[in-house]
Structure 1
């Protein structure tokens, strides 16, 4: 235990916040977590998982739970819009025989696994609650909560997401997420027998793919170029997504389009990214996850870098160093890796929007996956 860090507050009960709680509790730190949603829900369909994320799951202690309800596989197959196979990208192995190369899972299922692990760790969880004021100093943070209580912490971890209130109030110079010119459709469908790994069809301005999430389900995603950020009426989801998919002549995409219905859990979101310049901390408040490094899904690594950052933060803050030294070491270990994911994902989006060089697109994906396979 770091002699300077005995009690930690985590604001936000998403993937990175829960991971931070679990890892600090392993080191016998008193951890409080507040989550504004009284039901602690996680929206969304599926989430693609790379080998680096699965390595992090092993560190946290949830890999076995993931393998029970999710799906592990290897490789990415790329196809032309007509269905002609373009390339097979091998998924780099992490170097641990127990860790699969990649996989996928339902977002709510992963959230449930992490929530159960967080509670079991001894973290004091308070739902339907957040902060109203934080007085941040070199020695601690005095926090007032929405339930009227106050407390003082050695460290506050802001993991309250891409629209973070902590970032806005305590790091106003950080800026806001930038729209990248694409939206993403997601859906859940019954898994076809031939969907054994990630498959992706790349058109001039649309990209559609599927990923197996369990023995019975698969996750469908489609990115669509949109010059302006748009809202789509959920009542039109099935019709609009089906129309986009039918522009792909590939027989399998035609089949998938016909499978869409009101029970497909269809969702549409505009895509943005954010990379807050270093440092990601002031005195005793530090930001992690989407709060500082929010990325588009092109490398399927947004959750990965947030979860990794939570692990590294706990490692560095629980060494026998000052809080300032620990936070500086955390920043040094995380900056290049998070920057790479955000910038490379953004470049992939740009190539897709511009109808750019497919070879560059493939090379960026391959090089990024190899980089993520390296130790954190």
Structure 2
């Protein structure tokens, strides 16, 4: 697909080699910008279970030309089914196809998704430097002077901070911003064989600890569960993770109960506390700009964190291509993204609050449907 070229900048540094950073690097490189991509991890790894990919997220990946690879290596479904925690079916979420030829929803293992994106970065011959971050950023006329953690220096026309919720770029260049705020919930995840007969995404509601299942490959799913988070002095070891999650699933029926009864100590289990924040504007300082979790970190309730990051990378490149004025382009990027990201974050946090208060599962379902319907709108 031919992309409109960017004339306002010739070089860009993208800090952070995760989903948002790679989406940005790909989008800029396809429009003729010479991009450098750096990541703090010397092995450019990613940890995690699966990831739910909603229709809007699949639409964004289609813009990157990666939809076919995701369909080939992930799992595509046509609906999400809602159950009471005991396995009683409530309703199926309305998840219409939002573009011709675009699947309604799906899932993929996070390491597989990263590998697909990394392959596209390499195809575009984008230089990638690992084990590296930035130690200093200084806006200069028509550019940004960068000092890297290895002591080297270089000037770029644009610096993009896509370096996680703990963004180094944000800390260096955006003093009016702060860390993400805990929501009071934690998220459990387990990767496991697919329950027999599962043919759609599933949510289990009406319990103090709601959970859901997403197919990520023909024979693999991941299950998430949300619980109230309690601070503790040490992390849980693998045995405690296994025993605790199995106990938390004691009341569940359906495929959630099947996972409880069939999970083993060989299955990958993870737990982390949740935090979210929509950083106040401006999201840019001179020619330094933020996107992804660095500026719009959300919780997994709408399965939209990755989608928002990919959309932001695409929109940033589109606005730079559409304007010869970098500042005007960055302002337009912020204006296109702010309200959409705010909706995702505020709705996700509100759903989490409802869960902590043991709210009506029908209200929960209504909030999910409304938010997903709004996300279907063009970005």
Q: State the match for 2:207 in structure 1.
A: 204
Report deviation, 1:82: 1.8
User: What CA distance in whole angstroms lies between the structure 1 residues aligned with 2:323 and 2:173?
Assistant: 27
User: What CA distance in whole angstroms lies between the structure 2 residues aligned with 1:141 and 1:27?
Assistant: 20
Report deviation, 1:229: 7.0
Q: State the match for 2:82 in structure 1.
A: 78
**Given the two structures, how large is their TM-score scaled by the length of structure 2?**
0.96
Report deviation, 1:129: 1.2
Q: State the match for 2:277 in structure 1.
A: 274
User: Structure 1 runs of 4+ off > 4 angstroms?
Assistant: 227-230
Give deviations 1:107-127, integer Å, cap 9, x for gaps: 000000001101111211111
Q: Where do 5+ consecutive residues of structure 1 fail to align?
A: none
Report deviation, 1:251: 4.7
Pair 191,253 (structure 1): closer, same or farther in 2 beyond 3 Å: same
1:368 matched to 2:374? The reply is no
Question: Which of 146, 150, 163 is the equivalent residue of 1:143?
Answer: 146
Give deviations 1:206-229, integer Å, cap 9, x for gaps: 012111111111111111122547
Equivalent residues of 2:6, 2:31 under 8 A apart: no
Q: Which moved more, 1:210-219 or 1:297-306?
A: 210-219
Q: State the match for 2:128 in structure 1.
A: 125
Q: Which moved more, 1:201-210 or 1:60-69?
A: 201-210
**Pairing of 1:187-336 with structure 2 (within 5 A):** 187-228=190-231, 231-248=235-252, 250-336=253-339
Give deviations 1:283-310, integer Å, cap 9, x for gaps: 0000000000111100000000011000
Pair 52,97 (structure 1): closer, same or farther in 2 beyond 3 Å: same
User: What CA distance in whole angstroms lies between the structure 2 residues aligned with 1:346 and 1:229?
Assistant: 22
User: What CA distance in whole angstroms lies between the structure 1 residues aligned with 2:259 and 2:110?
Assistant: 21
Report deviation, 1:136: 1.7
User: What CA distance in whole angstroms lies between the structure 2 residues aligned with 1:198 and 1:281?
Assistant: 37
- Alpha-carbon RMSD across the aligned residues, in angstroms, is 1.4
Q: State the match for 1:56 in structure 2.
A: 60
Pair 251,23 (structure 1): closer, same or farther in 2 beyond 3 Å: closer
Match of 2:217, SS?
A: coil
Report deviation, 1:205: 1.1
